[in-house]
Amino acid sequence: MTAAQDEKDFIQVRELSKLFHSADSEEHILSDLNFTAQRGEIITVLGVSGTGKSTLLNMLGGIDRPTAGSVVIGGKDVTRLDDAGLTAFRRDTIGFVFQFYNLIPSLTAQENVLSALEAQRRLTRQDEAEAQQALNSVGLSAKADKFPEQLSGGEQQRVAIARAIIKHPPLILADEPTGNLDPQTGEQVMKVLVEHARRTAATLLIVSHNPAFCAISDRSLSLADGRLTPRDT
Amino acid sequence: MLAMNLIWRRAGRQIWAIRYRLLAIALIAASAFAIYSGIYSAMNSLFASRDHYYQEGNMADLELRFVPDDLANIPSLAGLPGIRSVEHRLLSPASLTLNDGKRLAGTLIGLDLAQPLQINRLTLLEGKALDPARPDEVIIDRNLARYHGLQVGDTLDMALGNDNYHLRVRGIARSPEFLLASANPNFFLPSKGSMGIIYGSLELIASRLGFPLVNSLLFDLRQGPDAAPVLGQRIADALGKRLNIEEILPLKRQFSYLFMQTDLNAFAIFVPAVIIIFSLAAITITFFLLLQWIMGQRQEIGLLKAIGYGKQRLVLAYSFPLLVITAVAIIAGFGLSFLVLMEFGHSYSEAVGFPKPLLQLEGAKLLLGLLGMVLGLALAAFWPQRRLLGMSPQDAVRPARGGSSGQLGVARAVARWVGGRILLKYPLRSLLRNKGVTLMTVLAITMAMGVSLSYFIATTSFKDSIVSRFADDRWDLSVEFLTPLWNDELQQMLTPIGGIQKRDPYVRGGIRIAHAGQQKSSLLGSLNPDTNLRHIDLLQGSLPTAQRDGIVLERKLAASLGAQVGDPLQIESQGHHFDTVLLGIFSGALPGESYTSLRQARRWLDYDTQLNGVFLQVAGNPQALAQQLRELPRVAQVTRKDLLAEQVVKVSEEALTIIYISAAFSIAVTLLFLFASATFTVLQRKSEYVVLRILGFCETSINLMILLEILGVGLLASLLAVPSGYVIAHFLVGRLSDAWFSVTTSMSTTDVAIIIAPVLVLLPLSAWPVMRLVQRASLPKTLRERMFG
């Protein structure tokens, strides 16, 4: 595959299935799911609770493995990677934003942001400046030394965004990024995320049950009964 | 009722899932219980066995030793009030030559077969009783048979004074008097088989002398051994004009009695410390397990509360693991108590050459141990149960927080101060976040390691004090003679022997010392202020000198007389009275010793220019010279200082076995603490480690963070364990000094290394299971748990 093709079909999901086994039954969360996404595209996946939105995101991000099918991102088949390969893939390719922020409580805002870089390399003074810059971009330059418990929910989510964007990943995965925030704060947070994606040409995939995201997305998809379908905007 | 059953059924299932951890805790708790009941029962059984053997052989309540005299001169004492019966005998040092040519120090006990022989009665183990018609046939003590392979029918040669006897072993017997055999009456140490005890007829010696000679009277007192000190004095006063009394020996000053009492009491000092370690382990680990279990069930407990379950029902249901631990611990505790009883009782008896002990578990000790264990476990469950009671129905819906960031509070400033890479920062700050658990873990480990370390420091101090005591002695060989020698005879004897640098002749004998209405028997030894080959560990005052003569007393003897340095004392010896002054007080292993100058000792003991032993400082190898000296006529015993020091170390090392076991256990406990606390704290923050994994931290980095967290606790505890161990050891050493002799606390690097090194080396082992759990944690599943601060 050429570089141009990589850009065009940056994400290629083919026949993706996920089956959950319980003691006496099997449940198809995702069935033969197919879709592609271009580099720099902003996509919202909508669906009600329990439809497998987070599962899809987890498989795209190398957090979970599919039962069948393949996920190729930037020309790399994620489903064929071993644990170490997946770790490297997440480290170098993905920026995660979670509904519950998932900040490390014993690290300050700046240190939480830097943790994404430290996973990649030995930190330098330049990295610290970058972390400060990332916090500036989310409007938290004054709170770099605060611990998560000293920040509001919206501020914590902005730190999480700064952590996701500092390494300029080609793909940002956001799982209900405003699910825990009030509408006004949610709007601010999304603005930051979208602006960054546009500026860096990162692909942004948002999963949510909130249709309001469709307005800021290039494309919206619906996930229901294990299948992904385009949604009219 | 059905609902209640459901909770219990569920609790049962969960307990099954953690059954091995519960079993481990139950065994630790059972060990604490077993050590308490087992060791104390064993110690009491050993004392009871000693009393049983005393009763079996009707051990003399009192013995009076005097200068050998014709039996015809011994007045009848049967009519004296308080005396049930009295028997006479001869005690004489002898030199034995066994069939293989081996020379051995011995004691002949000449028995008057014409009297009933009811006191210090022999229990015949093999062969036949003494026959008055066959005076050259003797009975030997069980230890002579056991440790030198002598059997009934064997022959041996005995040198007694200037006479030699060829004897045949007629029987082997046990005497209550020699439950333990001393290596040398001068040194308070049991040494199996080093002294051969022979029982023969008085006729054996009478046939050569022409009259029966006796020097010991054994008394069976109506009021038992407690009456011995007072009655002994009265008897000695009554006999004083007729006999030259050397020593009044109540049963409680007899070697076996005194040694066992002192040794076991000294050992008893260590037992509470061992019990503390085991109890601490059981309490802490139970606490962690229950807290972890209850915190893990938080949402469920909240839910049960929300749907109407009362606190009492929940507390009862969630006490199930504790009930299981207690039940298993009780059953295991009884079994382990029996094992400890047997192991300790038999090992101790074997170490000191005691006859087969009669061991039994004491009901009171079992009950107390059991109560202690149950209370300890209840204490461990208290806080987790309080947490359970404090949970509200809201907990069912509130997302759990992995080591809430709120706990950072006071530690925040310190946390900021911890800089460096996240790899270092995260584990150290995590310790600060869980400061309560961290502190508790550090303290528990410090205590476990500190107590273990204290055993080793105390034992090292004990050994070093003994060894340095011998090192301060400048003699290499101590030679005792069968009969007193004149100075010129000694000169004549030693002149042909090369390699002797210095000699220090001495006399020893029994005297009685009086002060302020108190009178006590003492074994008097002599010192030579010019040569000073013998070291005295002086606590107060000074030693006799050529200018200022007087006496120095062993500290317990001085205390029993109520005498202070400078006090005047009255000496009674050989029917004469002397006035002297207390010059100094010293610490010694053998209670009741006293020393004065050679000149004065000779005067008091009526030795003229005679001596009954000599300390020698030699130039070369003492072994060869000792062998040469043993071959000389009239030499009863040659003691090598180097072997004596070895013997001391050997005896104390036998006692060390339990210390080593406890130390090994403490190390295991330390690792278990670390494992338990790491499991608790790290797994509480499992989701944070998962986030770090999602962010791309590799397996090695994550493992390193977990290891650093555990290392942090381990290192801090190890550092604190050293001063703690020293302080505890200092306390133990103080108690040892009270029980035995003056011991100085000394710590060696080996003591520290023996405890700290294995812990540091094995630390990663306790981290390993947690690392695996974190690495194996499912990323999506953990994210779903939403356990974030």
Residue by residue, pLDDT tens for chain A (233 residues) are 455 555 678 999 999 999 887 767 778 888 889 999 999 999 999 988 888 888 999 999 999 999 999 999 999 999 999 988 999 999 999 999 988 888 988 888 999 999 999 888 888 889 889 999 999 888 888 999 898 888 988 899 889 999 999 999 999 999 988 887 788 888 888 888 899 999 999 999 999 888 888 888 999 999 988 888 887 65
- E-assigned strand segments in B59-127: 62-70, 83-97, 103-111, 123-127
Contact B789 A103 (CB under 8 A): yes
Share of chain B above pLDDT 70, in %: 90
B495, pLDDT greater than 90 = no
Reported ipTM: the value is: 0.88
In which band, very low, low, confident or very high, does the pLDDT at B709 lie, cut at 50, 70 and 90? confident
pLDDT at site B413: 58
Share of chain B above pLDDT 90, in %: 24
> Is the minimum CB–CB distance between A77 and chain B shorter than 8 Å?
no
Per the DSSP assignment, residues forming a β-bridge with A227 are A224
Q: Which residue has the higher pLDDT, A191 or B644?
A: A191
* Separation in Å, CA of B788 to nearest CA in chain A: 6
pLDDT at site B4: 52
Among residues B559, B553, B540, the alpha carbon closest in space to that of B588 is found at B553
Buried b (16+ CB within 10 A) or exposed e, B765-789: ebbbebbebbeebebbebbebebbb
* Separation in Å, CA of A55 to nearest CA in chain B: 8
B117, pLDDT greater than 80 = yes
Long-range contacts, B96-100 (Cβ 8 Å, 24+):
B96/B156, B96/B157, B96/B158, B96/B159, B96/B196, B96/B198, B97/B156, B97/B157, B97/B158, B97/B159, B98/B148, B98/B150, B98/B156, B99/B154, B99/B155, B99/B156
In which band, very low, low, confident or very high, does the pLDDT at B404 lie, cut at 50, 70 and 90? very low
Each residue's pLDDT tens digit, B12-22? 777 776 777 77
pTM of this structure: 0.68
Q: Is B72 exposed, middle or buried (0-12, 13-18, 19+ CB in 10 A)?
A: exposed
Each residue's pLDDT tens digit, B733-757? 887 777 767 788 988 898 899 888 8
> Lowest mean pLDDT: which of A3-12, B107-116, B145-154, B615-624?
A3-12
Among residues B747, B755, B754, the alpha carbon closest in space to that of B461 is found at B747
Q: What's the gap between Cα B768 and its chain centre?
A: 38
Contact partners, residue B641, CB within 8 Å, separation at least 6 = B470, B473, B475, B476, B477, B478, B622
pLDDT at site A66: 92
In which band, very low, low, confident or very high, does the pLDDT at B579 lie, cut at 50, 70 and 90? very high
pLDDT at site B127: 94
> B688: which chain A residues are within 8 Å (Cβ-Cβ)?
104-105
Q: Is B612 exposed, middle or buried (0-12, 13-18, 19+ CB in 10 A)?
A: buried
Contact residues, chain B to chain A, C-beta under 8 Å: 399, 403-406, 408, 412, 415-416, 421-423, 425-426, 429-430, 432-433, 687-688, 691-699, 701, 779-780, 783-784, 786, 788-789
Q: What is the mean pLDDT of residues B652-673?
A: 69
Each residue's pLDDT tens digit, B27-85? 878 888 998 999 899 999 999 999 999 999 999 999 988 878 888 888 877 677 888 89
Q: Report yes or no: A58 and A67 within 8 Å, Cβ to Cβ.
A: no
In which band, very low, low, confident or very high, does the pLDDT at B247 lie, cut at 50, 70 and 90? confident
State the Cα–Cα distance between residues B195 and B637, nearest whole angstrom: 9
State the Cα–Cα distance between residues B637 and B106, nearest whole angstrom: 8
Structure tokens at B518: 């108190």
**What mean pLDDT is reported for chain B?**
82
Q: In sequence order, what DSSP letters do the residues of B207-219 get, joined into one string?
A: HHHSS-EEEEEEE
B418, pLDDT greater than 70 = no
pLDDT at site B431: 83
Q: Which residue has the higher pLDDT, B273 or A125?
A: A125
> B404: which chain A residues are within 8 Å (Cβ-Cβ)?
105
* Separation in Å, CA of A1 to nearest CA in chain B: 26
Tell me which of B422, B423, B435 to substitute to probe the interface with A (most A C-beta atoms closer than 10 Å): B422
> A147: which chain B residues are within 8 Å (Cβ-Cβ)?
405, 408, 412, 415
Q: Report yes or no: A112 and A164 within 8 Å, Cβ to Cβ.
A: no
State the Cα–Cα distance between residues B520 and B248, nearest whole angstrom: 8
Q: Is B159 exposed, middle or buried (0-12, 13-18, 19+ CB in 10 A)?
A: buried
Among residues B212, B204, B199, the alpha carbon closest in space to that of B133 is found at B204
